Structure 1
Amino acid sequence: MKYKLYHYPFFAILSLVTFAFIFQSCGEDEMSEEEKAKNTIIATFENIRRIYSEEGLLKIKIEAPLEYIYQNEDLYYPSNFRVSMYDTKGKITTTLTADSGRYERISKLYHAYGNVEVVNYEQEQKVNTPELHWNEFKREIYTEKEIAVKTPTETLYGIGMTSNETFSKYKVWQPTGSFIYKERTQGFEKPDSTDMQNQKNTSYSNLQQSLPTQ
């Protein structure tokens, strides 16, 4: 096999290198310290299992094949994100699975993306949506996307939802079709603007771009 050699003037190459260096330096100067911390990976762990307890009782377990920890202590799970919730007897009550997930430490927000499915075993319910968010402070789960709530006898479709952590009570904001469990839809308000702003400021695409190449 023959290789063709290309010759470039030394000064042309030097100019390109200098331009690239200046461009990169300007970009770093314009990026705030908060943005740098949000996009700088400091650790990677495989086959993780995070356990969260309350008063000595297992409450939540998070599992994923890969976890990235950022400088600001945010967490990102690029694939097969799974959350299990337990009752006081250590029995699984609810599971959440998604293509990916992330956690914002300061705002205490969890996010699940892509083919999100929540199963409540006690209520025999299944929830499907492309995107779901959990406010740890308020102990509420919400989405602005399309959603389907399924039981053994019926399915409710709609757009936007707020629920408690176990999905035993919920409110679908723009429902389509009938649903008999009206007692489960009381007592919730739409997510406030702070939640929505946090969601928009730390976009999923930005986190994807910051991942190291394999």
Structure 2
Amino acid sequence: MAFSLLIFLLSLCLTSCNQSEVKEPVEYTGPAREVEKMELFYSENDRVKVKMLADKVYEYENGDREFPKGIYLEFYDLTGKLESTLRANEAYYFKKDNQWRGRGKVEVKNVAKNEQLNTEELFWKPAEEKIFTEKFVTIRQEEDVIYGKGLDAKQDMSDYTILQPTGEFAVKE
């Protein structure tokens, strides 16, 4: 009996000495919230300035937001008239910089001038009411199509500069 007790204690000691690995907990970095079919209105002085539609939104702890299924924005003037629209296949809002990035098929339309901008990536700074990109752009006007690389513009496309323009277009005097 003493011999079996000795073997039992020895085996218990050997198994207790065999420590299992302790794994570090993995910190979750995914979204804190998820919203579907979002419709948001941004207004100032009781006037709607921007309307936003998105099928899916992920919001992170740091305030960033991801729009994996795309985004659609409408911009209104002081009288409430639609000035321009912006559509992108996917978007991301960087809270720290108060800046947006649209990717994929990005399209901006100036309703009043009947112009349309197309590019694969576009940034928007709401505080400055400015859009910009370093990517290839196409601007369709009523009579002309302008191509180029890089763009700086007002968010409603009422004034813009193509950094490296190409193509032929008529110059009005």
TM-score (norm 2): 0.81
Q: Aligned partner of 1:58: which letter?
A: V
- Shift in Å, 1:40: 3.5
Alpha carbons of structure 1 residues 80 and 40: separation in structure 2 relative to 1, 3 Å:
closer
1:41 to 31, 45, 51: 31
- Shift in Å, 1:182: 8.3
- The share of aligned pairs that are identical, in percent, is 30
**1:29-68 correspondence to structure 2 within 5 Å:** 39-68=29-58
Give CA-to-partner distance per residue, 1:111-148, whole Å, 9 cap, x none.
11100011111010000000000112322100010000
Give CA-to-partner distance per residue, 1:32-59, whole Å, 9 cap, x none.
xxxx7xx431111110011111222100
Distance 1:58 1:118 in 2: 19
- After superposition, the CA RMSD in angstroms is 2.4
- Number of aligned positions between the proteins: 156
- Shift in Å, 1:181: 6.2
* Higher share in strand: 2
Give CA-to-partner distance per residue, 1:69-124, whole Å, 9 cap, x none.
10011111111311111122222211111111111112110111100011111010
Asked if 1:134 is matched to 2:124, the reply is yes
Structure number with larger C-alpha Rg: 2
Alpha carbons of structure 1 residues 181 and 97: separation in structure 2 relative to 1, 3 Å:
farther
**1:13-162 correspondence to structure 2 within 5 Å:** 18=21, 21=23, 39-162=29-152
1:176 to 154, 166, 172: 166
* Higher share in helix: 1
Q: Aligned partner of 2:144: which letter?
A: E
TM-score (norm 1): 0.66
Alpha carbons of structure 1 residues 181 and 109: separation in structure 2 relative to 1, 3 Å:
farther
Q: Aligned partner of 1:132: which letter?
A: L
Distance 1:163 1:177 in 2: 19
Q: Residue in 2 aligned with 1:205?
A: none
Distance 1:150 1:46 in 2: 33
